Structure 1
Amino acid sequence: MRALAYGVIFDLDGVLVDSSAFHRESWRLVGRERGFEMSDEFFWRTFGMPNRQILPMLFGNGLSEDAMLELSERKEEVFRSLAAGRIRALPGAIELVRAVTAERLPIALGSSTPRSNIEAILAALGIRSDFTQIVCADDVVEGKPHPEVFLKAAATLALPPQDCVVIEDAVVGVDAARAAGAACLAVATTHAADKLRHAHRVVPDLTYADTALLRSLIDSNRNAPATV
Protein backbone atom coordinates (compact mmCIF):
# COMPACT_ATOMS: atom_id res chain seq x y z
CA MET A 1 0.00 0.00 0.00
CA ARG A 2 1.42 3.38 -1.00
CA ALA A 3 2.17 5.71 1.92
CA LEU A 4 -0.07 8.73 2.24
CA ALA A 5 1.44 11.97 0.99
CA TYR A 6 2.46 14.58 3.49
CA GLY A 7 4.01 18.03 3.32
CA VAL A 8 6.45 20.01 5.44
CA ILE A 9 6.05 23.75 6.02
CA PHE A 10 9.00 25.56 7.57
CA ASP A 11 8.88 28.93 9.27
CA LEU A 12 12.03 31.00 8.73
CA ASP A 13 13.10 33.17 11.67
CA GLY A 14 13.83 31.03 14.71
CA VAL A 15 13.52 27.77 12.74
CA LEU A 16 16.06 27.92 9.93
CA VAL A 17 17.99 30.91 11.29
CA ASP A 18 18.03 32.89 14.51
CA SER A 19 17.80 36.43 13.23
CA SER A 20 16.09 37.76 16.36
CA ALA A 21 19.14 39.78 17.47
CA PHE A 22 19.28 41.52 14.07
CA HIS A 23 15.55 42.26 14.22
CA ARG A 24 15.86 43.58 17.77
CA GLU A 25 18.78 45.83 16.83
CA SER A 26 17.07 47.09 13.67
CA TRP A 27 14.02 48.16 15.69
CA ARG A 28 16.32 49.87 18.19
CA LEU A 29 18.20 51.78 15.49
CA VAL A 30 15.06 52.79 13.59
CA GLY A 31 13.46 53.83 16.87
CA ARG A 32 16.44 56.08 17.57
CA GLU A 33 16.07 57.60 14.08
CA ARG A 34 12.33 58.17 14.40
CA GLY A 35 11.98 58.95 18.09
CA PHE A 36 10.25 55.87 19.49
CA GLU A 37 11.25 52.95 21.69
CA MET A 38 10.24 49.29 21.57
CA SER A 39 10.56 47.40 24.85
CA ASP A 40 12.03 43.91 25.03
CA GLU A 41 8.68 42.64 26.33
CA PHE A 42 6.84 44.09 23.33
CA PHE A 43 9.46 42.76 20.90
CA TRP A 44 9.20 39.17 22.13
CA ARG A 45 5.41 39.29 22.48
CA THR A 46 5.06 40.31 18.83
CA PHE A 47 7.96 38.29 17.40
CA GLY A 48 6.63 36.29 14.46
CA MET A 49 3.99 38.87 13.51
CA PRO A 50 4.24 40.95 10.31
CA ASN A 51 5.18 44.63 10.60
CA ARG A 52 1.73 45.77 9.47
CA GLN A 53 0.36 44.03 12.57
CA ILE A 54 3.13 45.17 14.93
CA LEU A 55 3.12 48.87 14.05
CA PRO A 56 -0.54 49.60 14.90
CA MET A 57 0.02 47.84 18.24
CA LEU A 58 3.01 50.11 18.84
CA PHE A 59 1.53 53.41 17.62
CA GLY A 60 -2.23 52.89 17.78
CA ASN A 61 -3.92 54.97 15.08
CA GLY A 62 -1.12 57.51 15.06
CA LEU A 63 0.39 56.46 11.71
CA SER A 64 -1.06 56.65 8.21
CA GLU A 65 -0.89 53.64 5.89
CA ASP A 66 1.87 55.35 3.89
CA ALA A 67 3.85 56.13 7.04
CA MET A 68 3.55 52.54 8.27
CA LEU A 69 4.71 51.20 4.91
CA GLU A 70 7.69 53.55 4.84
CA LEU A 71 8.65 52.72 8.43
CA SER A 72 8.31 48.99 7.78
CA GLU A 73 10.49 49.20 4.68
CA ARG A 74 13.11 51.22 6.56
CA LYS A 75 13.22 48.69 9.40
CA GLU A 76 13.71 45.80 6.95
CA GLU A 77 16.38 47.75 5.07
CA VAL A 78 18.30 48.17 8.34
CA PHE A 79 17.74 44.49 9.16
CA ARG A 80 19.22 43.32 5.85
CA SER A 81 22.20 45.62 6.31
CA LEU A 82 22.87 44.25 9.81
CA ALA A 83 22.37 40.61 8.80
CA ALA A 84 24.36 40.66 5.54
CA GLY A 85 27.16 38.11 5.76
CA ARG A 86 26.31 37.26 9.37
CA ILE A 87 23.26 34.98 9.05
CA ARG A 88 23.95 31.40 10.14
CA ALA A 89 21.71 28.36 10.00
CA LEU A 90 20.44 26.98 13.29
CA PRO A 91 21.62 23.49 14.33
CA GLY A 92 20.05 20.75 12.23
CA ALA A 93 18.14 23.15 9.96
CA ILE A 94 20.01 22.61 6.70
CA GLU A 95 20.21 18.87 7.31
CA LEU A 96 16.45 18.55 7.84
CA VAL A 97 15.63 20.64 4.76
CA ARG A 98 17.95 18.45 2.70
CA ALA A 99 16.46 15.26 4.17
CA VAL A 100 12.96 16.42 3.26
CA THR A 101 13.96 17.28 -0.30
CA ALA A 102 16.00 14.07 -0.66
CA GLU A 103 12.82 12.10 0.04
CA ARG A 104 11.00 14.25 -2.55
CA LEU A 105 8.47 15.39 0.02
CA PRO A 106 6.41 18.49 -0.73
CA ILE A 107 8.11 21.41 1.05
CA ALA A 108 7.11 25.04 1.53
CA LEU A 109 8.12 28.08 3.53
CA GLY A 110 5.39 29.89 5.47
CA SER A 111 6.66 33.06 7.13
CA SER A 112 5.64 36.52 8.33
CA THR A 113 8.89 37.79 6.84
CA PRO A 114 8.88 40.04 3.73
CA ARG A 115 9.91 38.26 0.52
CA SER A 116 13.03 40.40 0.09
CA ASN A 117 14.38 39.15 3.43
CA ILE A 118 13.47 35.54 2.66
CA GLU A 119 15.23 35.58 -0.70
CA ALA A 120 18.39 37.06 0.84
CA ILE A 121 18.47 34.59 3.74
CA LEU A 122 17.74 31.43 1.74
CA ALA A 123 20.36 32.42 -0.84
CA ALA A 124 22.92 33.02 1.93
CA LEU A 125 22.19 29.58 3.39
CA GLY A 126 22.43 27.90 -0.02
CA ILE A 127 18.94 26.39 0.18
CA ARG A 128 16.90 28.70 -2.06
CA SER A 129 16.42 25.95 -4.65
CA ASP A 130 14.98 23.59 -2.02
CA PHE A 131 11.92 25.81 -1.59
CA THR A 132 9.79 25.90 -4.72
CA GLN A 133 6.83 27.21 -2.71
CA ILE A 134 7.03 30.31 -0.51
CA VAL A 135 4.16 32.10 1.23
CA CYS A 136 5.24 35.25 3.04
CA ALA A 137 3.99 38.52 4.52
CA ASP A 138 3.48 39.89 1.01
CA ASP A 139 0.98 37.13 0.19
CA VAL A 140 -1.45 37.28 3.11
CA VAL A 141 -3.94 39.70 4.60
CA GLU A 142 -3.93 38.28 8.14
CA GLY A 143 -0.79 37.76 10.20
CA LYS A 144 -0.12 35.00 12.71
CA PRO A 145 -1.79 33.77 14.91
CA HIS A 146 -4.35 33.75 12.09
CA PRO A 147 -3.81 30.53 10.07
CA GLU A 148 -3.88 32.17 6.62
CA VAL A 149 -0.16 31.78 5.90
CA PHE A 150 -0.21 28.04 6.62
CA LEU A 151 -3.51 27.42 4.86
CA LYS A 152 -2.06 29.06 1.75
CA ALA A 153 1.24 27.18 2.10
CA ALA A 154 -0.61 23.86 2.28
CA ALA A 155 -2.65 24.86 -0.77
CA THR A 156 0.54 25.53 -2.76
CA LEU A 157 1.51 21.91 -2.01
CA ALA A 158 -1.93 20.70 -3.16
CA LEU A 159 -2.46 19.13 0.26
CA PRO A 160 -5.00 19.68 3.02
CA PRO A 161 -3.39 21.23 6.12
CA GLN A 162 -4.11 18.04 8.09
CA ASP A 163 -1.57 16.31 5.82
CA CYS A 164 1.14 18.85 6.66
CA VAL A 165 3.45 19.50 9.57
CA VAL A 166 4.44 23.06 10.39
CA ILE A 167 7.79 23.73 12.06
CA GLU A 168 7.60 26.85 14.23
CA ASP A 169 9.42 28.62 17.06
CA ALA A 170 6.98 31.37 18.08
CA VAL A 171 3.86 31.17 20.22
CA VAL A 172 1.79 32.96 17.57
CA GLY A 173 3.18 30.58 14.94
CA VAL A 174 2.18 27.49 16.91
CA ASP A 175 -1.27 29.02 17.41
CA ALA A 176 -1.53 29.62 13.64
CA ALA A 177 -0.46 26.06 12.79
CA ARG A 178 -2.97 24.54 15.20
CA ALA A 179 -5.73 26.85 13.94
CA ALA A 180 -4.97 25.68 10.39
CA GLY A 181 -5.45 22.07 11.49
CA ALA A 182 -1.84 21.10 10.77
CA ALA A 183 0.50 19.10 12.94
CA CYS A 184 3.08 21.31 14.63
CA LEU A 185 6.67 20.71 15.67
CA ALA A 186 8.01 23.55 17.82
CA VAL A 187 11.68 24.34 18.34
CA ALA A 188 12.61 26.09 21.58
CA THR A 189 15.11 28.47 19.99
CA THR A 190 13.50 31.84 20.70
CA HIS A 191 10.90 30.90 23.32
CA ALA A 192 11.03 28.63 26.35
CA ALA A 193 9.66 25.13 25.77
CA ASP A 194 6.83 25.60 28.27
CA LYS A 195 5.52 28.53 26.20
CA LEU A 196 5.23 26.20 23.19
CA ARG A 197 3.58 23.24 24.90
CA HIS A 198 0.44 23.51 22.75
CA ALA A 199 2.49 22.21 19.79
CA HIS A 200 2.30 18.48 19.09
CA ARG A 201 5.99 18.13 19.99
CA VAL A 202 8.67 20.51 21.27
CA VAL A 203 12.39 19.93 20.65
CA PRO A 204 15.44 22.03 21.62
CA ASP A 205 16.53 22.37 17.98
CA LEU A 206 16.26 20.54 14.67
CA THR A 207 19.10 18.12 15.40
CA TYR A 208 16.37 16.31 17.37
CA ALA A 209 14.09 16.02 14.31
CA ASP A 210 14.04 13.80 11.24
CA THR A 211 11.53 12.87 8.57
CA ALA A 212 10.30 9.90 10.62
CA LEU A 213 9.34 12.26 13.45
CA LEU A 214 7.59 14.61 11.03
CA ARG A 215 5.60 11.73 9.56
CA SER A 216 4.63 10.46 13.02
CA LEU A 217 3.30 13.89 14.04
CA ILE A 218 1.15 14.08 10.92
CA ASP A 219 -0.17 10.55 11.46
CA SER A 220 -1.04 11.38 15.08
CA ASN A 221 -2.77 14.58 14.02
CA ARG A 222 -4.75 12.79 11.30
CA ASN A 223 -5.89 10.14 13.76
CA ALA A 224 -6.76 12.52 16.60
CA PRO A 225 -10.45 12.49 17.54
CA ALA A 226 -12.43 15.44 16.25
CA THR A 227 -13.22 18.13 18.81
CA VAL A 228 -16.55 19.92 19.00
Structure 2
Amino acid sequence: MERLVIFDMDGLMVDTETVSFRAWHEVMKGVGIDFTRKEFDLTLGRNNRDIAVIIKGIYGEEVPVDELFVKKIALAQRMIEEKLDTKPGLFELFDYLEANGYRRVVATSSHRTRAEFIVKKLGLEERIDGMVTGDQIRKGKPDPEIFLKAAEMAGTMSENSIVLEDSRSGLHGANNAGMRCIFIPDFTEPDDEISRTAYRIVESLAEVPKILEVAAWIR
Protein backbone atom coordinates (compact mmCIF):
# COMPACT_ATOMS: atom_id res chain seq x y z
CA MET A 1 0.00 0.00 0.00
CA GLU A 2 1.42 3.35 -1.07
CA ARG A 3 1.09 6.04 1.61
CA LEU A 4 1.27 9.70 0.69
CA VAL A 5 1.92 12.88 2.63
CA ILE A 6 0.96 16.05 0.76
CA PHE A 7 2.69 19.28 1.77
CA ASP A 8 1.31 22.74 1.39
CA MET A 9 4.26 25.10 0.96
CA ASP A 10 3.72 28.71 2.08
CA GLY A 11 3.34 28.96 5.83
CA LEU A 12 3.73 25.19 6.18
CA MET A 13 7.21 24.36 4.88
CA VAL A 14 8.58 27.89 4.88
CA ASP A 15 7.76 31.14 6.67
CA THR A 16 6.61 32.95 3.54
CA GLU A 17 3.13 34.03 4.64
CA THR A 18 4.75 36.77 6.72
CA VAL A 19 6.74 37.81 3.66
CA SER A 20 3.62 37.78 1.50
CA PHE A 21 1.69 39.93 3.96
CA ARG A 22 4.51 42.48 4.19
CA ALA A 23 4.73 42.65 0.40
CA TRP A 24 0.97 43.05 -0.06
CA HIS A 25 0.80 45.69 2.66
CA GLU A 26 3.59 47.68 1.00
CA VAL A 27 2.20 47.64 -2.56
CA MET A 28 -1.34 48.35 -1.37
CA LYS A 29 -0.08 51.34 0.59
CA GLY A 30 1.22 52.69 -2.70
CA VAL A 31 -2.37 52.99 -4.00
CA GLY A 32 -3.77 54.34 -0.75
CA ILE A 33 -5.13 51.08 0.67
CA ASP A 34 -4.52 49.94 4.25
CA PHE A 35 -4.25 46.18 3.71
CA THR A 36 -4.59 44.54 7.12
CA ARG A 37 -4.22 41.04 8.54
CA LYS A 38 -8.00 40.64 8.34
CA GLU A 39 -8.01 41.04 4.54
CA PHE A 40 -4.85 38.98 4.15
CA ASP A 41 -6.40 36.07 6.04
CA LEU A 42 -9.05 35.83 3.31
CA THR A 43 -6.35 35.16 0.70
CA LEU A 44 -4.51 32.39 2.54
CA GLY A 45 -4.21 29.19 0.52
CA ARG A 46 -5.85 30.78 -2.52
CA ASN A 47 -4.44 30.96 -6.03
CA ASN A 48 -3.82 34.26 -7.81
CA ARG A 49 -7.12 34.19 -9.71
CA ASP A 50 -9.11 33.83 -6.51
CA ILE A 51 -7.04 36.46 -4.70
CA ALA A 52 -7.76 38.94 -7.51
CA VAL A 53 -11.49 38.32 -7.10
CA ILE A 54 -11.24 38.75 -3.32
CA ILE A 55 -9.32 42.03 -3.59
CA LYS A 56 -11.73 43.50 -6.13
CA GLY A 57 -14.65 42.35 -4.02
CA ILE A 58 -13.31 44.24 -1.02
CA TYR A 59 -11.86 47.37 -2.61
CA GLY A 60 -13.74 47.69 -5.91
CA GLU A 61 -13.26 46.83 -9.56
CA GLU A 62 -11.14 49.94 -10.14
CA VAL A 63 -8.23 48.53 -8.10
CA PRO A 64 -5.32 47.80 -10.52
CA VAL A 65 -4.96 44.18 -9.41
CA ASP A 66 -2.72 43.05 -12.27
CA GLU A 67 -0.26 45.87 -11.63
CA LEU A 68 -0.31 45.20 -7.90
CA PHE A 69 0.37 41.50 -8.44
CA VAL A 70 3.47 42.27 -10.51
CA LYS A 71 4.83 44.58 -7.82
CA LYS A 72 3.92 42.25 -4.96
CA ILE A 73 5.51 39.19 -6.59
CA ALA A 74 8.72 41.09 -7.35
CA LEU A 75 8.96 42.49 -3.82
CA ALA A 76 8.23 39.15 -2.15
CA GLN A 77 10.79 37.44 -4.39
CA ARG A 78 13.49 39.90 -3.33
CA MET A 79 12.60 39.25 0.30
CA ILE A 80 12.87 35.46 0.09
CA GLU A 81 16.09 35.69 -1.92
CA GLU A 82 17.56 37.63 0.99
CA LYS A 83 16.19 35.32 3.68
CA LEU A 84 14.06 32.17 3.66
CA ASP A 85 13.19 30.65 7.02
CA THR A 86 12.06 27.03 7.19
CA LYS A 87 9.45 25.79 9.60
CA PRO A 88 10.70 23.78 12.61
CA GLY A 89 10.93 20.05 11.98
CA LEU A 90 10.76 20.20 8.17
CA PHE A 91 13.96 18.34 7.34
CA GLU A 92 13.52 15.85 10.17
CA LEU A 93 10.05 15.06 8.84
CA PHE A 94 11.46 14.42 5.38
CA ASP A 95 14.04 12.09 6.93
CA TYR A 96 11.25 10.16 8.67
CA LEU A 97 9.06 9.93 5.56
CA GLU A 98 11.92 8.70 3.39
CA ALA A 99 13.02 6.14 5.98
CA ASN A 100 9.48 4.76 6.24
CA GLY A 101 8.58 4.65 2.57
CA TYR A 102 6.07 7.50 2.36
CA ARG A 103 5.48 9.25 -0.95
CA ARG A 104 5.91 13.04 -0.76
CA VAL A 105 4.20 15.62 -2.98
CA VAL A 106 3.98 19.41 -2.66
CA ALA A 107 0.58 20.96 -3.46
CA THR A 108 0.80 24.74 -3.44
CA SER A 109 -1.34 27.58 -4.76
CA SER A 110 1.86 29.40 -5.75
CA HIS A 111 3.00 29.62 -9.37
CA ARG A 112 5.34 26.82 -10.44
CA THR A 113 8.32 29.11 -11.07
CA ARG A 114 8.16 30.43 -7.50
CA ALA A 115 7.50 27.00 -6.00
CA GLU A 116 10.45 25.46 -7.84
CA PHE A 117 12.70 28.29 -6.65
CA ILE A 118 11.73 27.69 -3.01
CA VAL A 119 11.98 23.89 -3.17
CA LYS A 120 15.40 24.14 -4.83
CA LYS A 121 16.58 26.73 -2.30
CA LEU A 122 15.60 24.29 0.45
CA GLY A 123 17.52 21.50 -1.27
CA LEU A 124 14.40 19.33 -1.48
CA GLU A 125 14.00 19.00 -5.25
CA GLU A 126 15.37 15.44 -5.18
CA ARG A 127 13.42 14.52 -2.06
CA ILE A 128 9.88 14.98 -3.37
CA ASP A 129 7.95 12.72 -5.71
CA GLY A 130 6.24 15.60 -7.47
CA MET A 131 4.67 19.02 -7.20
CA VAL A 132 1.30 20.46 -8.20
CA THR A 133 1.11 24.26 -8.41
CA GLY A 134 -1.61 26.86 -8.71
CA ASP A 135 -1.08 27.46 -12.43
CA GLN A 136 -1.63 23.75 -13.16
CA ILE A 137 -5.19 23.59 -11.87
CA ARG A 138 -8.51 25.07 -12.94
CA LYS A 139 -9.97 25.56 -9.47
CA GLY A 140 -8.03 26.56 -6.37
CA LYS A 141 -8.42 25.48 -2.76
CA PRO A 142 -10.91 24.73 -1.18
CA ASP A 143 -11.70 22.82 -4.36
CA PRO A 144 -10.12 19.35 -4.06
CA GLU A 145 -8.52 19.40 -7.53
CA ILE A 146 -4.96 20.14 -6.41
CA PHE A 147 -4.98 17.33 -3.83
CA LEU A 148 -6.54 14.80 -6.19
CA LYS A 149 -3.87 15.62 -8.77
CA ALA A 150 -1.19 15.15 -6.11
CA ALA A 151 -2.54 11.70 -5.24
CA GLU A 152 -2.78 10.77 -8.92
CA MET A 153 0.82 11.90 -9.43
CA ALA A 154 1.98 9.70 -6.54
CA GLY A 155 -0.18 6.74 -7.55
CA THR A 156 -2.08 6.66 -4.26
CA MET A 157 -5.71 6.67 -3.15
CA SER A 158 -7.30 9.54 -1.23
CA GLU A 159 -7.87 7.31 1.79
CA ASN A 160 -4.14 6.59 1.93
CA SER A 161 -3.18 10.27 1.80
CA ILE A 162 -2.68 12.78 4.60
CA VAL A 163 -2.43 16.50 3.90
CA LEU A 164 -0.37 18.97 5.93
CA GLU A 165 -1.97 22.43 5.83
CA ASP A 166 -1.95 25.77 7.62
CA SER A 167 -4.91 27.48 5.92
CA ARG A 168 -8.67 27.09 6.23
CA SER A 169 -9.11 26.80 2.45
CA GLY A 170 -6.45 24.08 2.30
CA LEU A 171 -8.05 22.18 5.16
CA HIS A 172 -11.43 22.20 3.42
CA GLY A 173 -9.83 21.26 0.11
CA ALA A 174 -8.21 18.22 1.70
CA ASN A 175 -11.48 17.12 3.26
CA ASN A 176 -13.30 17.68 -0.03
CA ALA A 177 -10.77 15.31 -1.60
CA GLY A 178 -11.61 12.63 0.97
CA MET A 179 -8.26 13.05 2.71
CA ARG A 180 -7.41 13.61 6.33
CA CYS A 181 -5.64 16.84 7.17
CA ILE A 182 -3.16 17.63 9.92
CA PHE A 183 -3.51 21.34 10.62
CA ILE A 184 -0.39 23.25 11.65
CA PRO A 185 -1.30 26.87 12.44
CA ASP A 186 0.62 29.78 10.98
CA PHE A 187 -1.45 32.93 10.36
CA THR A 188 -4.78 31.17 10.94
CA GLU A 189 -5.46 30.22 14.54
CA PRO A 190 -7.66 27.14 15.03
CA ASP A 191 -11.29 27.87 15.88
CA ASP A 192 -14.19 25.51 16.55
CA GLU A 193 -14.72 24.82 12.84
CA ILE A 194 -11.07 23.96 12.23
CA SER A 195 -11.00 21.81 15.37
CA ARG A 196 -14.00 19.83 14.11
CA THR A 197 -12.66 19.46 10.57
CA ALA A 198 -8.97 18.68 11.06
CA TYR A 199 -7.77 15.13 11.65
CA ARG A 200 -5.27 16.52 14.15
CA ILE A 201 -3.96 19.96 15.13
CA VAL A 202 -0.29 20.25 16.11
CA GLU A 203 2.08 23.12 16.77
CA SER A 204 4.84 22.13 14.35
CA LEU A 205 5.98 19.66 11.71
CA ALA A 206 8.12 18.01 14.38
CA GLU A 207 4.97 16.42 15.83
CA VAL A 208 3.79 14.84 12.58
CA PRO A 209 5.79 11.56 12.77
CA LYS A 210 4.11 10.61 16.05
CA ILE A 211 0.69 11.04 14.43
CA LEU A 212 1.67 9.00 11.38
CA GLU A 213 2.87 6.19 13.63
CA VAL A 214 -0.64 5.65 14.98
CA ALA A 215 -2.72 6.73 11.96
CA ALA A 216 -5.29 4.18 10.84
CA TRP A 217 -4.30 4.08 7.19
CA ILE A 218 -7.03 1.66 6.16
CA ARG A 219 -10.48 2.96 6.97
The TM-score, its normalising length taken from structure 2, stands at 0.89
Q: Distance in 2 between matches of 1:88 and 1:27?
A: 19
Is 1:167 matched with 2:160? no
Q: Distance in 1 between matches of 2:5 and 2:106?
A: 8
Q: Partner amino acid for 1:204?
A: E
Question: Which residue does 1:9 correspond to in 2?
Answer: 6
Q: Distance in 2 between matches of 1:86 and 1:203?
A: 26
2:12–2:186 contact (8 Å) kept in structure 1: yes
> CA offset at residue 73 of structure 1?
3.5
Question: Which residue does 2:173 correspond to in 1?
Answer: 176
Question: Which residue does 1:213 correspond to in 2?
Answer: 211
> CA offset at residue 169 of structure 1?
0.8
**1:104 aligned residue (91, 95, 101):** 101
SS, match of residue 166 in structure 1: strand
Q: Percent identity?
A: 27
More displaced 10-residue stretch of structure 1: 52-61 or 154-163: 52-61
> CA offset at residue 114 of structure 1?
1.4
2:103–2:129 contact (8 Å) kept in structure 1: no
SS, match of residue 77 in structure 1: helix
Distance 1:73 1:97, change over 3 A: farther
Q: Partner amino acid for 2:198?
A: A
**2:56 aligned residue (51, 54, 59):** 59
Q: Distance in 1 between matches of 2:134 and 2:110?
A: 5
> CA offset at residue 63 of structure 1?
6.2
Within a 5 Å distance, the mapping from 1:29-44 to structure 2 comes to: 29-44=26-41
RMSD (CA atoms): 2.1
Is 1:88 matched with 2:82? no
Q: Distance in 2 between matches of 1:134 and 1:97?
A: 15
Q: State the aligned residue count.
A: 215
Structure 1 residues 11-43: Cα deviation after superposition (integer angstroms, max 9, x where no partner):
011211121111011101221334434222010
The TM-score, its normalising length taken from structure 1, stands at 0.86
Question: Which residue does 2:202 correspond to in 1?
Answer: 203
Q: Distance in 2 between matches of 1:218 and 1:81?
A: 43
Q: Partner amino acid for 2:177?
A: A
Which runs of structure 1 show a deviation greater than 6 angstroms over 4 or more consecutive aligned residues? none
